[in-house]
Chain A
Amino acid sequence: MQDLASATSLALQLVLSGDADLVEIVGLSLRVSLSATALACAIGLPLGALVAISRFPGRGAVLIVMNALMGLPPVVVGLLVYLHLSRSGPLGFLGLLYTPTAMIIAQTILITPIVAALSRQVLEDLHAEYAEQFRSLCLSRWQSVQALLWDARYSLLTVGLAGFGRAVAEVGAVIIVGGNIDHLTRVMTTAIALETSKGDLALALALGIVLLVIALGVNALVQGLRMTAARQAYV
């Protein structure tokens, strides 16, 4: 087994040289996780907004379920998606198992509750401020949702970021439904797990470095946007 120093040195060489395998794995990871984040936002944000502005019997139970689903175990999500997409499953005819699409589906299911629950809290706080004005203006429910989503856009970026972070860092769901197939469904986390088990710490570390840089970069970008927005009193 390589020692930590030589593994780190090799990892940096791989990163700096733009190793083709590394680039492919990183590219697929970003494609899958960004797609899942976009889908989760498309579903979770309006859902969170609707729950935020609605009062109905059983709302408390809905909130408990939404919050509980934030802690969905990735392997359970992976197993459920696997059962649905496997050849004998109800969606087996689609032939999606062991494809990036299956990984996107699994990650979307995993992070939609996170986006919905966190956005619900953000939008409920904002709605408390706007509600009376909205009623005075006779806005429809959909107009209120649209206005809340737009006015909370910078806070919701952080919600999206939390979803992306969860998606890009998870391994349990994508390894079950993707299968970690080289050049097809291998993403950063599954590759790190595989290379570590094989003893190839250089590639595992290189991928870990890239994962950290992505996390830092996205956080810095969102923080910059929020600071700009705060200066303009848009937060």
Chain B
Amino acid sequence: MSDAVSLPRSAAALPETDAPLLPLRVRGLTLGFGDETVIDGLDLDLGPSGCTMVMGPNGSGKSLLLKLLHGLIRPSGGHIDWGGQAGDVTRRQALVFQAPVLLRRSVAANLDFVLRARGKDRRRRVDLLEHVGLSHKAAQPARLLSGGEAQRLALARALATDPEVLFLDEPTASLDPASVLAIEHIVSEARARGVRIVFVTHDVGQARRMADDVVFLHRGRVAEHAPAGDFFPVPQCQAARDYLDGRIVV
């Protein structure tokens, strides 16, 4: 993978509007399916930069929170305020799913599709592939990529849209350590270019490596939100302490 790439600075250099998306202010966010409430009056504030790691046990609402913030799901109640923006903000964000959905075409064509659909310069495909270390796979069918390669392509596709906020939903689940590090490297570079990162993970080691701050979810609420330097040594809530100690949290 290349360290010196000619990718545009996402948040700073190519804003689609002058008004910033951040800070994010969420109040009383609720999501329910039938009688079940899965996000329960959640409050959250995110600052303008950095990498927020979202942690918590299965079923705590991490993936749903990302989809709510990205506008893929409508909340049952509450309020999401992206920097006071009134319109649709999804276009200024990108989400990388745990299981990447790649089109049934070549690696290069997957990127070409997004660049064309979003009105970007298609010549950037070369740089993007170089950036994620997939230049040599450009002509290969995307669905024959390994898990790590597929996730790197999904990341390249997300970065092709020049997002101001990049959501990552367990992008390294089930990947080997080398693939995990490769993806963390790409995400760190995006963060350094000014992209706001919101990263869901179950991997405590990864959270320690990547986090500027940690949001710990439990039963559909923010049980704790603290800077990484405060959270990992002395988590304030019992659920987070149990989680970090490897005890079962339900």
- Taking A132-B97, A137-B117, A137-B161 as contacts, is the C-beta distance between A232 and B141 under 8 angstroms? yes
Bound Cα distance A132, B95 (Å): 10
**Min CB distance, B132 to chain A, in Å?**
17
- B94 interface contact, C-beta 8 A: yes
Q: By DSSP majority rule, is chain B's interface helix, strand, loop, or mixed?
A: mixed
Bound Cα distance A130, B104 (Å): 11
Bound Cα distance A232, B104 (Å): 9
Q: Are B104 and A133 in contact (CB under 8 A)?
A: no
B105 CB contacts on chain A under 8 angstroms: 150-151, 234
- Taking A132-B97, A232-B144, A233-B143 as contacts, is the C-beta distance between A139 and B117 under 8 angstroms? yes
- Taking A136-B70, A138-B90 as contacts, is the C-beta distance between A233 and B104 under 8 angstroms? yes
- B101 interface contact, C-beta 8 A: yes
Interface residue from B72, B88, B113, B143 paired with A136 (Cβ < 8 Å): B72
Contact mask A221-234 → B, CB, 8 Å, 1/0? 00000000000111
Residue of B nearest to A130 (CB): B101
- A3 interface contact, C-beta 8 A: no
Bound Cα distance A61, B114 (Å): 35
Bound Cα distance A133, B96 (Å): 9
- B173 interface contact, C-beta 8 A: no
- A143 interface contact, C-beta 8 A: yes
Contact mask B105-133 → A, CB, 8 Å, 1/0? 10000000110011000000000000000
- A23 interface contact, C-beta 8 A: no
- Taking A132-B72, A132-B101, A137-B161 as contacts, is the C-beta distance between A147 and B113 under 8 angstroms? yes
Contact mask A109-149 → B, CB, 8 Å, 1/0? 00000000000000000000110110111110001000100
- A235 interface contact, C-beta 8 A: yes
B250 CB contacts on chain A under 8 angstroms: none
Contact mask B78-94 → A, CB, 8 Å, 1/0? 00000000001011001
- Taking A138-B91, A232-B141, A233-B143 as contacts, is the C-beta distance between A133 and B101 under 8 angstroms? yes
Q: Are A147 and B103 in contact (CB under 8 A)?
A: yes
Residue of A nearest to B116 (CB): A143
- Complex A-B: 27 CB contacts under 8 Å: A130-B101, A132-B72, A132-B97, A133-B101, A135-B72, A136-B72, A136-B94, A136-B95, A137-B117, A137-B118, A138-B90, A138-B118, A139-B117, A143-B117, A147-B113, A151-B103, A151-B104, A152-B104, A232-B141, A232-B144, A233-B141, A233-B142, A233-B143, A233-B144, A234-B105, A234-B143, A235-B104
Which B residues are within 8 Å of any A CB, using their own CB? 67, 70, 72, 88, 90-91, 94-95, 97, 101, 103-105, 113-114, 117-118, 141-144, 161
The 3 closest A-B pairs by CB, nearest first: A233-B143, A133-B101, A151-B104
